[in-house]
């Protein structure tokens, strides 16, 4: 039987494992099938991979497009078909020594809202098939550009044919594509040599645990590795309900906020917020409600 475990594990994913590999490994470690993830990380990449356990698996809908942060290395001189170091070269290798000043200008050009074409070797679907499956079969892959946002793009070091960088971007942004597109701009080709994810939303590397560390945790200390349900969505206002109100929320009924329960955003005016965390009098999370209209909210996610 599945054990009663609910919360988020922040795993420091090792290289050469897929996100699904990590999920399977943790399911075996914890003896529960109720393990999922809040978005994949490429097999060659390392770093933050939030895994949801138990009731937390239902929170994936709120995190798949979350802000993410990375550090990595671009290698200039040739491009690859996967846009990273695991792929086959798609251009002749040339000797190049990148200039920090030129890269800083380019990084500013790739900051803000961008139209980005995903790599052919990606999990995007084309007519029901994964793009990477078509690419591996040498079939044509035509992917449409999508809008992404790069919030910050910083050059950490540049030497010879390599550049270290840090980037913060919206969910759905391919850092591999950033490296490839910058190489195309420079005319020398480039690919992503290594990548380490340092944050997904509120989940950060300094709170992560390795798979080896998780395996060494005793059962009674497992809670110390879990982010509890009540700590999820930290930017959402909380509303405490009791009595009949609590019962109605648990049954998924819409409710209306009273004037004194509306939330301001620093302007002195009362405004609706998109999501509310609904707590019981013991400060346990019982639901997440979404704004419908006016002061009306609907419990989209009820934890029974």
Closest by Cα among 195, 122, 199 to 168: 199
In whole angstroms, give the CA distance from residue 80 to residue 111: 23
Q: In DSSP terms, which residues pair with 109 in a beta bridge? A: none
In whole angstroms, give the CA distance from residue 223 to residue 9: 10
In whole angstroms, give the CA distance from residue 142 to residue 119: 10
42, 133, 194, 300: the catalytic one is 42
In whole angstroms, give the CA distance from residue 85 to residue 87: 6
Specify whether 181 is catalytic: no
* 3-class secondary-structure state, position 139: coil
Ramachandran quadrant class, 223 (left: phi over 0; alpha: psi -120 to 50; beta: rest): alpha
> What is the set of active-site residues?
42
């Amino acid at each position: 039987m599945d054990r009663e475990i609910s919360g988020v594990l922040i795993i420091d994913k090792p290289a050469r494992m897929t996100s699904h590999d990590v999920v399977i490994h943790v399911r075996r470690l914890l003896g529960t099938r109720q393990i999922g993830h809040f978005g994949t990380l490429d097999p060659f990449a390392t770093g933050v991979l939030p895994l949801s356990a138990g009731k937390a698996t239902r929170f994936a809908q709120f995190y798949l497009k979350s802000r993410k942060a990375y550090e990595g290395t671009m290698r200039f001189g040739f491009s690859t078909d996967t846009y990273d170091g695991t792929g086959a070269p798609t251009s002749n290798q040339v000797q190049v020594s990148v200039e920090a000043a030129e890269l800083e200008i380019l990084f500013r050009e790739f900051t803000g809202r961008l139209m980005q074409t995903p790599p052919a070797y990606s999990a995007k679907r084309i007519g029901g098939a994964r793009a990477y499956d078509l690419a591996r079969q040498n079939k044509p892959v035509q992917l449409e550009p999508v809008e992404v946002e790069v919030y910050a793009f910083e050059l950490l070091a540049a030497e010879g044919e390599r550049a270290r960088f840090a980037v913060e971007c919206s969910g759905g942004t391919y850092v591999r594509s950033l490296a490839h597109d910058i190489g195309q701009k420079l005319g020398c080709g480039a690919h992503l040599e290594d990548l380490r994810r340092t944050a997904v939303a509120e989940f950060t590397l300094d709170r992560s645990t390795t798979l080896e560390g998780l395996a060494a945790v005793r059962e009674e200390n497992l809670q110390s590795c879990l982010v509890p349900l009540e700590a999820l969505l930290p930017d959402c206002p909380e509303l405490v309900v009791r009595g009949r109100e609590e019962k109605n929320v648990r049954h998924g009924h819409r409710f209306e906020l009273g004037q004194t329960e509306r939330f301001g955003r620093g302007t002195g005016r009362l405004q609706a917020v998109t999501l509310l965390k609904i707590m019981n009098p013991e400060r346990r999370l019982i639901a997440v409600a979404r704004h419908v209209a006016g002061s009306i909210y609907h419990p989209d996610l009820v934890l029974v």
